[in-house]
Amino acid sequence: MVESPVRVLHIANSLGLGGTEKVMQLLVANLDQKRFSPAVYSPQDGERGAQIRALGIETYIGMDLLDVLDRFRPRIVHIHRAGWAEPKMLTTIKRARIPVVVETNVFGRHDPSPSASVIDRTLFVSRFCLERFATTTGATANPDRYGFLYNPVDTDFFKDHALPERDFSLPIAGRISRADPGKWSPLALNFLPQLVRDIPNFRYHIIGGIPEAMEYVHENDLSKNVCFHDPVQTDGEIAEFLNGVSVLAHANDTGESFGLVIAEAMACGLPVITHPSEGLKDNAQLELVEHAVTGLIARTAEEYANALKYIFSHPEEARRMGVAGQEKASRLYRAQTITRRLEAVYEDLLHHKGIMQ
């Protein structure tokens, strides 16, 4: 008979402000601690490490993983990773004879290495990633081995902190990402000249500006229209930023395996404009943003500018899309609901291994 609560160790490569770390934090924060006792291991500490400890959850930082496993003695190890081969970590987990190993596969990658056999269940972060994995690897979409679990979002918080009445006719768009060129698309800027020509008082607020974006704004004399903001750390700061805009403008050439910022904007009641990715790149942004339902899909700079103009000139349609997005986010991505589903995965695996009766 398994002890109660069941010890669960979550593992991430760092505890910074990235989406992977945020997802892990929301999961450990919402686990039913009458049934599960969570802790976190990471080689590197960061801002989220402090936030996790503030919740009363123990963190193990920079220690030898085998020592941590021996000290904490988890029944379940839950790894948050890109999906590429990480033989050292997985071999260590296997050596420690951890009964249940779960993987959140953030980018839908395939790990064919022998060490990956220690993983009992792989959870992709969108249906898109699961289906692409099955298509590209030939692996059967076996629910006993592979599945998907959407990233959790604190939809209750964002709904409670969203503006009760928003004027969608105000020509203001917002963008949030890391200050990483890999998170950008030329589309995120190329729509500006046309839009500013048609709407001179358009304002574009950006968190995560990169030097190339700042140079583009300067060279095209757009400094009056574009404002670059410092990074933010908390959901309160994100909600405050989103309360100052009428639409989220998303554009990322690599696409999204889920799209955490998109889901957070939806939870705030904002319509979202995004674009499709090419080929087998991440395309889960289209799983979240349904054209003319929760936002608009644009393929070119002209379409993107026209989509923004449509939002500002049709405020009631923008409101309708925002409400639809908020309802979808609450239904599919609410952190408490996602965590209950994760707990069911844990318990299913414990039963299957004969650890829980």
pLDDT in tens, 173-183: 999 999 999 99
Kind of pairing, strands 172-176 and 247-249? parallel
* Contacting residues for 148 by C-beta, under 8 A, at least 6 apart: 123, 124, 125, 126, 127, 129, 130
What's the total number of domains in the chain? 2
Beta bridge partners of 101: 77
> Is 357 domain-assigned?
no
Question: Over the stretch 292-310, which tens digit does the pLDDT of each residue have?
Answer: 999 999 999 999 999 999 9
Cβ contact 260:19 at 8 Å: yes
The predicted model gives 129-146 an average pLDDT of 86
Least confident of 273-282, 312-321, 335-344: 273-282
Range of the domain at 26: 6-151+335-352
Q: Give residue 149's identity as a one-letter amino acid code.
A: L
* Contacting residues for 72 by C-beta, under 8 A, at least 6 apart: 7, 9, 39, 58, 60
For residues 135 and 195, membership in a common domain is answered with: no
Q: Which of 8, 172, 13, 14 is nearest to 88 (CA)?
A: 13
For residues 318 and 276, membership in a common domain is answered with: yes
For residues 327 and 346, membership in a common domain is answered with: no
Q: How many helices (H) and strands (E) does the chain have?
A: 15, 13
Question: Over the stretch 42-70, which tens digit does the pLDDT of each residue have?
Answer: 999 999 999 999 999 999 999 999 999 99
Q: Give residue 11's identity as a one-letter amino acid code.
A: I
- % of the chain at pLDDT higher than 90: 92
Residue 157 three-state SS: helix
Residue 208 three-state SS: coil
Question: Over the stretch 85-96, which tens digit does the pLDDT of each residue have?
Answer: 999 999 999 999
CATH number of the domain to which 220 belongs: 3.40.50.2000
The predicted model gives 325-339 an average pLDDT of 98
For residues 321 and 341, membership in a common domain is answered with: no
For residues 145 and 170, membership in a common domain is answered with: no
Residues in the chain: 357
pLDDT at 357: 59
The predicted model gives 2-26 an average pLDDT of 94
Q: What is the C-alpha to C-alpha distance for residues 310 and 294, in angstroms, rounded to an integer?
A: 14
> Is 14 domain-assigned?
yes
Q: What's the half-sphere exposure (Cβ side, CA atoms, 13 Å) at 269?
A: 22
Cβ contact 339:27 at 8 Å: yes
pLDDT at 2: 64
For residues 327 and 344, membership in a common domain is answered with: no
For residues 186 and 123, membership in a common domain is answered with: no
For residues 140 and 99, membership in a common domain is answered with: yes
For residues 108 and 253, membership in a common domain is answered with: no
> Is 1 domain-assigned?
no
Confidence of residue 144 (pLDDT cuts 50, 70, 90): confident
For residues 327 and 343, membership in a common domain is answered with: no
The predicted model gives 125-134 an average pLDDT of 95
For residues 54 and 101, membership in a common domain is answered with: yes
For residues 27 and 123, membership in a common domain is answered with: yes
> Is 141 domain-assigned?
yes
